[in-house]
Structure formats: C-alpha cells, structure tokens
C-alpha cells in the first residue's frame, strides 16, 4: 500500500511540474501579426513620420520590384526597379539588379531607391550604383526619377546601409563592394539644390504642391575605406553614445569598427554575413557579428567577449528587446531566435513556424522577422521583463535566507512579492511567502498550509483551477515538511486530482470555443482573428494531447487528432482566402495603373495576381487578368511603334515612319482608342505629304534637266547646218 501511495505522489509531482510550468508562462515576445510574404530583402521605414512603419519587400529577378505593405500585411502599392535586366544568361547585353536599399535620406517624404547592378556585354563590364526617387507628381500618381548614376564603382555592390556620421544628423549612404572597398556617399549633398518654381496644379479643388525637384550631378564621395577583402555586410549605430553613428562592416575574414578611420578590426577567419550593435540602448552589447555558423560579441575595445557556435545562423540583432534594461544579442538559427546575455549565456528562446532568413528592427520593442514563407511582427511582452526582475529580487533574498540572514532577505522578498502580485504570478507569490514563512517560527507553518488548502478549495469551487493547483501543491509541500501525512494523502492529493480533471475539461472547452471563433471569423472574412483563434485552438489541443494520458483521463487521442487535423484544414483554407484577397488587391492595383496609362506597373501587378489565381485554380479571374495584361502589352507595343515612327519621321525616313505608324494605328484600332488612332493617322498624313512634296520636287528637277538637254540639241543642230552650207 505504501508503495502505491509513493508512486501516486511521484505521478502527482510530475504533473505538478508540467502544470506549474504552464500555469503562468511569460514569453519574452508576443506574435502580434503574421502574414504570407516572400521576398529577397525586407526593409522598414516610417516614410510619413506618423509612427507607422511600412514594410518594403524587395524581389530580385528578370524584373526586380518592390511590394509595400502596412504593419497589418495589406499591400499599399508596388513599384518596379528601373533598369533592363537580362531575361537569360545568353542575352549578349543586359543589366542585372544585385542589391537594392531603401530609405528617405533627404527626409522629403519621398522614397529613395539605391540600386546596385551589373552590366555585362561585349566590351562592357561595369557595376553601376544608381539613385532613384519615387516622387509624387499629382494626387496618387508617382513617377520614379533617376537622380544620379555612378558608373565608376569598384567591384560589385554587396550591401548598403545609411548612417548619420556627424552632429548634423544628415544621413549618408554606406556601400560595400566585392573589391574590399567601403564607400560613403553624401546623398543629401549630391545635388546643387531644389527648384521650387515648378508648381503642379491638379484638377482637384484646393490641391497644389511644389515639387521637390533637384538638379543632381555626380554624387559626392565623402569616404572610401580599403578593407581586407570583399565587404559582405554593412551597418551603423552610435556604438559609443557620442551622438554620432559609427560604421560596422563585415568582410570575408574580419569585423570592422570605423569612426573617421578604421578604429579596430577583429579577424574571425570566415565570411561575416551580418553585423549589428544596439548602441547605448543595447547596454553591455558591443558589436555583434555572425558568420554562417557562429555568433560573436566583440567589445568596444575590439576584443572578443564570447562566441557561440550554432551550426547555422542567418541573421543577428543587438537591442534590449525584452525591456529588462539589459542588452541582448538575438541570433536567428533555423526557426528559432536565441537571446544571449552579456556573458554569452542563453537568456531565452523563441520559435516561429518557419526557417528565419532575416530580422529587422521596427521599434525599440518590436521586430520584423522574415522567414521562408511568412513574415512575423514580434513585440515585447512587458510582463516577461517584470517577471525576470521579480525573480532577481527573489534570488537575492533566497541567497540571504540560505546564509541564515533573514533580516536582509525581507526587503528584496517584499519587492519581488509586489511585482509578482502586479503581474498575477501566483507561483512567485507562493515562493516568496514560503521564505517569509520560513523566517518565522516553525509552528506557523501548518497554519499557513491550512490557509493555503482552504484557498485552494475556494478557488476550485470558483473554477479558478490554475491558482487552486498552486495553493494545493504548496499546502502539500508544507504538510510534508512538517510531517502531517493526513494533509498530504487525504486532503491535498485527492484535491489535486480533481483540479487536474477541471483543468483538462476547462482547456478542452476553451480550445473548442477558440476553434468555433476561428471558423466564425473565417466566414466573416476576418482572417486576422480567424488565424489567431485557430492557432490558439491547435495549441490547446496539442497541449491536451500531451497531458491527457498523464492525468489518468479517458484516452482521447483519436478525437484530439481529428480536432488538430480540423485546425490544420482551416488554416489551409484561411491561407487560400488570404491569397485570393492578395490577388484581388494586385488585380485592383493593375486595373488602376491600366486606367491611368501606367501599363508597365499594370503588368507587374497583374503578373502577381495571375500567379496567385493560377495557383488557386481560379480560371475566370485568371482569364480576366490575362486579358488586361494582354491589352497593357498591346498599348506598350503600340506606344513603342509610334515612338519609332516619330523618330523615323524626324530623320526623313518616311518609309519606316509610315510603316511603324501604320503598325501602331492597327493596334490602337484593335484597342478602340480613337484619340491615339487619330495621332497615328495625323503622322501618316504628314509623312504622305512630305513624300508627295519630294516626288513633285523630283519631277520639277527632271523637267528642268530635259529642257536644258533640248536647248543643247538645238544649238548643236544649228551648228551642223552652218557647217554643211559652207
């Protein structure tokens, strides 16, 4: 009998460890938003300065482009990156986009695009850096203008960033290259000033704005630093807190800190793929760097503080993300984010559903995480930081208690207890109370246990099972310590079993309700809430599936497996609907661009819509989008023919002018565009007129020549007659 009781107590203790860990879980981060987005690069920028950052997803390919989203994952607009990319490696001449950087360096609320490319062809081998500005020319109509193009770039652009390197806080552009040179371009000072005389007036009442037109020339190169090999990563931060940014760079071999010159370099012997620093707000963090398998923390003196080999690392950040006044280094490995403290120990880990490619800082307490198929927005959970702080006070008090110094243990215990109470951490409260109790007379222990047991009963009757279990287990611990076996065996053990059954039933009911909510929101097209609730439901079912056999309940694995499968099916349907909404958004943008004559942007949007429609098997929508794309392509072709015809007309090549104008007219006729058809007809009429004028002039010249010949013949005949008479 004693052996059975002992095994029962061990099983209860095992379950206690599971549920006490689950009772109050304070994660360092909250997943506030996630949405499907695939891209090569991600940037964040509060372009309007309204505290709301936009997300810029860059895709590289034959046609490189940028999709712009808000923090809810809704598409705001997109724009293609100018330049003629090669369709294949066999094309003799073409320009490939290799890197794009996005910012608003001149702070005029117009998007700045910096594009590194490769131009390859016969006798051509250059790697230009181009600066474009996406400018508003009238309400809702933008155009992307080339500000400057630097063709003397040494090597191929590898990475770009921006930095305020002096006290003016004006940002400069940092560019790394494969030749081992790090450039500093003075973008804001690259032109000769603004021309505000050109005012564009829209037909909308009361709208007028001065266009910020710059007369740019060759950009100012403010600095060039020769490093020990290809520069693969560039970043900037005010590392030493002097109000100016320092440059961080990673090469194929070393990590650099540059402040007016190379301050120090630290060799790692591997390709450094990312560098970061939290600056003064990332306390105790110097310069964080990663290779493809290792994380490094290098102090401000250029000496290694610690390193950690993870086997695989994709990105690194340095900041105080969990808001505990201690800087962390965040390393992304697989689908996990690992936070390291100042001494290199792991503070916490956080996982997402997909392998992480990169991380970007949104705010001091919010980061953007780009994975293979999704993007996550993770935000600080303040309760986590408070819980950590409370346990630091508790550990201090516990050290005093272990040393027999109860007097000095009281103050930190009271502070820990205050914080635990604020964040509703019952387990922490009880831990504090135990030490407080141990610092009193031993005879008070049983009375405290009795009070805990009564509180556990009351919480159980009120269906507050989590707190009921914490009080019941703590009462059992005290009863066992003082040798009151009746309280352990006949009071606490049976109550804990009932509480476990209540917790299980409560979690099952909550998971079922979460699934019902998810399905309801799905039917209402509220996909954000639908995703949130289906994730909660699945997490609840998975937790129950792990715990249901332990607590001695009926085996419900088959039923739970079906519920988990239902959650997965609903997530798939949510994903399909999200894609359909995204495709409709791209189609609407394509239609808008088509109506305003921006046919290239229309094709960009329509291509993305068609890809999603085809993936979803939506034939009607695909055909509709393909029809508009075909019309857009026809307009572009007709415009190109008309341009060629105009050029031929100006050069006097009236045959080609007529041919291409006729080609353009045929297409405009098919497109039923009378205005542009009229322009083509007018050009053909002008060409015909010039041809007839030329023919008339040729006839006149011929008549003049024939007349001259007749006169000559008459003279010759007269001379011959005179000769014969003689």
Task: Report how far residue 662's alpha carbon sits from residue 638's, in angstroms, rounded to the nearest whole number.
Answer: 10
The ranges assigned to domains in the chain are: 2-24+425-555, 31-384, 568-726
| Structure confidence at residue 37 as a pLDDT band (50, 70, 90) | confident
Confidence of residue 70 (pLDDT cuts 50, 70, 90): confident
Among the residue ranges 310-319, 440-449, 477-486, the one predicted with the least confidence is: 440-449
pLDDT-above-90 percentage for the chain: 46
Reported pTM: 0.69
**What letter does residue 303 receive in the DSSP assignment?**
-
User: What is the rounded end-to-end Cα distance, in angstroms, of the chain?
Assistant: 167
The answer on pLDDT for 450 being more than 60 is yes
Beta pairing, strands 124-126 & 111-121: antiparallel
Question: Which of the pair, 423 or 403, is modelled with greater confidence?
Answer: 423
pLDDT of 256 higher than 50: yes
d(C-alpha 199, C-alpha 92), whole Å: 43
Query: How does residue 139 score in pLDDT terms, banded at 50, 70 and 90?
Result: low
From start to end of 272-393, where are the E strands? 274-276, 287-290, 294-298, 304-309, 315-319, 328-333, 336-340, 346-351, 356-363, 366-371, 374-380
CATH superfamily of 31-384: YVTN repeat-like/Quinoprotein amine dehydrogenase (2.130.10.10)
Q: Which of 191-205, 400-414, 560-574, 648-662 has the lowest mean pLDDT?
A: 191-205
Fold of 568-726: 1.25.40
User: What is the pLDDT, as a whole number, of residue 16?
Assistant: 41
For the chain, what is the radius of gyration of the CA atoms? 37
**Helix extents (H) in 54-121:** none
Give 442's contacts (C-beta < 8 A, 6+ positions apart).
482
Residue spans of alpha helices (H) in 373-443: 382-402, 406-422, 426-438
Percentage above 70 pLDDT, the chain: 87
Compute the distance between CA of residue 617 and CA of residue 629 in angstroms, rounded to an integer: 18
Return the number of other C-beta atoms located less than 10 Å from residue 503's C-beta.
Answer: 22
- Intrachain domains 31-384 and 568-726 with the same fold: no
CA atoms in the 13 A half-sphere facing the CB of 580 = 14
Given this model, what pLDDT does residue 52 score?
85
- The maximal CA–CA distance of the chain, rounded, in angstroms, is 170
pLDDT at residue 593, as a whole number: 93
Q: How many Å apart are CA 148 and CA 130, to the nearest integer? A: 6
Residues in a beta bridge with 162: 173
pLDDT confidence bin for 719, thresholds 50/70/90: confident
Mean pLDDT over 81-107 rounds to 74
CB 544 within 8 Å of CB 496: no
| pLDDT value for 1 | 36
Cα separation, 473 vs 214, whole angstroms: 73
């Amino acid at each position: 009998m004693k052996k059975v009781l002992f095994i029962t107590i061990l099983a209860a203790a095992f379950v206690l460890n599971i549920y006490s860990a689950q009772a109050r879980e304070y994660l360092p981060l909250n997943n506030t938003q996630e949405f499907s987005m695939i891209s090569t690069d991600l940037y964040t920028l509060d372009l309007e300065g309204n505290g709301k950052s936009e997300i810029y997803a860059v895709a590289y390919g034959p046609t490189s482009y940028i999709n712009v989203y808000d923090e809810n994952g809704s598409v705001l607009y997109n724009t293609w990156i100018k330049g003629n990319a090669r369709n294949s490696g066999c094309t003799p001449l073409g320009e490939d986009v290799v890197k794009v950087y996005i910012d608003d360096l001149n702070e005029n609320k117009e998007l700045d695009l910096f594009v590194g490319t490769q131009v390859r062809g016969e006798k051509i081998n250059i790697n230009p850096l181009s600066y474009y500005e996406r400018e508003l020319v009238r309400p809702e109509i933008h155009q992307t203008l080339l500000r400057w193009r630097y063709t003397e770039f040494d090597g191929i652009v590898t990475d770009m960033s921006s930095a305020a390197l002096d006290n003016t806080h004006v940002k400069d552009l940092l560019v790394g290259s494969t030749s081992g040179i790090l450039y500093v371009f003075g973008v804001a000072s690259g032109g000769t000033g603004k021309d505000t005389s050109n005012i564009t007036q829209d037909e909308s009442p009361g709208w007028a704005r001065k266009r910020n037109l710059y007369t740019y020339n060759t950009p100012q190169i403010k600095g060039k630093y020769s490093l020990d090999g290809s520069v693969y990563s560039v970043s900037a931060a005010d590392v030493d807190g002097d109000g100016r940014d320092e440059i961080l760079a990673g090469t194929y071999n070393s990590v650099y800190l540059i402040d007016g010159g190379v301050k120090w370099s630290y060799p790692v012997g591997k390709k450094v793929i990312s560098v970061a620093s939290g600056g003064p707000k990332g306390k105790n963090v110097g310069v964080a760097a990663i290779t493809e398998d290792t994380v490094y923390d290098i102090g401000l003196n250029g000496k290694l503080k610690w390193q950690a080999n993870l086997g695989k690392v994709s990105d690194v950040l340095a900041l105080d993300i969990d808001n505990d006044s201690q800087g962390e280094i965040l390393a992304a490995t697989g689908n996990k984010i690992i936070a390291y403290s100042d001494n290199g120990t792991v503070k916490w880990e956080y996982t997402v559903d997909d392998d992480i490619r990169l991380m970007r800082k949104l705010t001091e307490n919010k980061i953007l995480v780009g994975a293979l198929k999704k993007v996550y927005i993770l935000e600080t959970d303040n309760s986590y930081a408070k819980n950590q702080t409370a346990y630091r006070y508790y550990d201090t008090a516990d050290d005093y208690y272990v040393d027999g110094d109860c007097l000095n243990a009281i103050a930190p215990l009271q502070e820990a207890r205050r914080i635990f109470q604020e964040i509703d951490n019952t387990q922490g409260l009880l831990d504090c109370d135990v030490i407080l109790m141990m610092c009193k007379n031993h005879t008070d222990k049983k009375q405290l246990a009795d009070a805990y047991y009564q509180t556990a009963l009351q919480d159980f009757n009120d269906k507050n099972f989590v707190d009921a279990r914490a009080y019941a287990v703590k009462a059992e611990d005290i009863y066992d310590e003082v040798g009151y076996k009746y309280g352990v065996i006949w009071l606490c053990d049976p109550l804990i079993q009932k509480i476990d059954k209540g917790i299980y039933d409560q979690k099952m009911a909550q998971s079922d309700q979460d699934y019902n909510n998810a399905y309801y929101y799905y039917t209402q097209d509220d996909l954000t809430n639908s995703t949130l609730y289906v994730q909660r439901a699945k997490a609840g079912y998975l937790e129950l599936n792990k715990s249901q056999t332990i607590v001695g309940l009926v085996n419900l694995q088959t039923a739970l497996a079906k519920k988990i499968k239902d959650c997965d099916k609903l997530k798939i349907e949510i994903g399909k609907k999200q894609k359909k909404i995204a495709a409709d958004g791209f189609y609407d943008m394509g239609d808008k661009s088509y109506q305003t004559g921006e046919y290239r942007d229309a094709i960009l949007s329509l291509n993305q819509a068609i890809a999603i429609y085809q993936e979803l098997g939506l034939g009607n929508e695909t055909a509709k989008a393909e029809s508009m794309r075909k019309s857009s392509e026809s307009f572009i072709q007709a415009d190109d023919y008309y341009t060629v015809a105009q050029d031929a007309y100006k050069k006097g090549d009236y045959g080609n002018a007529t041919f291409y104008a006729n080609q353009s007219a045929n297409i405009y006729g098919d497109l039923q565009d009378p205005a542009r058809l009229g322009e083509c007809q007018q050009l053909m009429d002008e060409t015909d007129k010039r041809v007839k004028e030329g023919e008339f002039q040729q006839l006149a010249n011929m008549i003049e020549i024939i007349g001259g010949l007749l006169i000559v013949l008459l003279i010759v005949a007269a001379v011959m007659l005179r000769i014969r008479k003689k």
